Structure 1
Amino acid sequence: MSIPNTTKSKRRPTHPGEMLREDFLPDYGLTVSGLAEAVGVSRQSINEVLRERRSVSPEMALRLGRLFGNSPEFWLNAQRAVDLWDASEAIKKDMARIKPLNAA
């Protein structure tokens, strides 16, 4: 049984690109070009993720998980948290109008 998280965070979750930029690249001594080469994608693709202008796709999550020895779910869950936060902020007024239903 899971317990739903009903409290909303007051700040936007950390984008996976920021994690890569601030934690992973320095810790592994990687450059943008080095990371792009290591995972087999273009430098532009990596740069857009690092600048938080591109989401981490399932394919990219598989590549990053393999490279860094963590799971693709780690990367996808981080991206999902950001996506849900952004969507929630975008439709905040509409969400306030929606009244939850109770089972009969």
Structure 2
Amino acid sequence: MTISKAPPIHPGEILRDLYLEPLGLTAYALAKKLRVPRTRVERIVAEKIGISADTALRLAKFFKTSPEYWLNLQSNYDLKREALVLAKELAEIPEMEAA
């Protein structure tokens, strides 16, 4: 099992840096367009919460991406973060040998 040693990138950072800032959108403006509470988008871009399936569907529709894109960003972030936390414990688990 190999997981990159690069620090995990929160999907909120991607949303903020690659979408909101270049388009001149605020979290409030995006929340209004997505029809979600302002605090949801604010907390995502502040990297306080992750992206749910509901939010992924809404972001995909608005930005003409796929919901899988957003959920994969979240999943990759979660896996990398957890791998860092469990690194020592995972290193102690033997790998099954091929028969």
Q: TM-score, normalised by structure 2?
A: 0.92
Runs of 4+ that moved beyond 3 A? none
Distance (whole Å) between structure 2 residues aligned to residue 11 and residue 103 of structure 1: 30
Gaps in structure 2 of 5+ consecutive residues: none
User: Which letter does structure 1 place at the counterpart of 2:10?
Assistant: H
Give the structure, 1 or 2, with the largest relative contact order (CA under 8 Å, sep 6 or more).
2
Q: How does 1:58-77 map to 2 (within 5 A)?
A: 58-77=53-72
Q: Is the 8 A contact 1:13 1:82 kept in 2?
A: yes
Deviation at 1:103, TM superposition (A): 4.1
Gaps in structure 1 of 5+ consecutive residues: 1-5
Question: Once the two structures are superposed, what CA deviation does each residue of 1:59-94 show, in whole Å capped at 9, x if it has no partner?
Answer: 110000000000001101111110001111111111
Aligned CA distance change for structure 1 residues 27 and 63 (closer, same or farther; 3 Å): same
Equivalent residue number for residue 34 of structure 1 = 29
2:23 paired with 1:23: no
Across the two proteins, how many residue pairs are aligned to each other?
99
Aligned CA distance change for structure 1 residues 65 and 33 (closer, same or farther; 3 Å): same
Deviation at 1:7, TM superposition (A): 4.0
2:99 paired with 1:92: no
| Other structure's SS at 2:76 match | helix
Q: TM-score, normalised by structure 1?
A: 0.88
Q: Is the 8 A contact 2:52 2:71 kept in 1?
A: yes
| Other structure's SS at 1:14 match | coil
Deviation at 1:26, TM superposition (A): 2.1
Distance (whole Å) between structure 2 residues aligned to residue 55 and residue 37 of structure 1: 19
- Identical counterparts, % of pairs: 39
| Other structure's SS at 1:75 match | helix
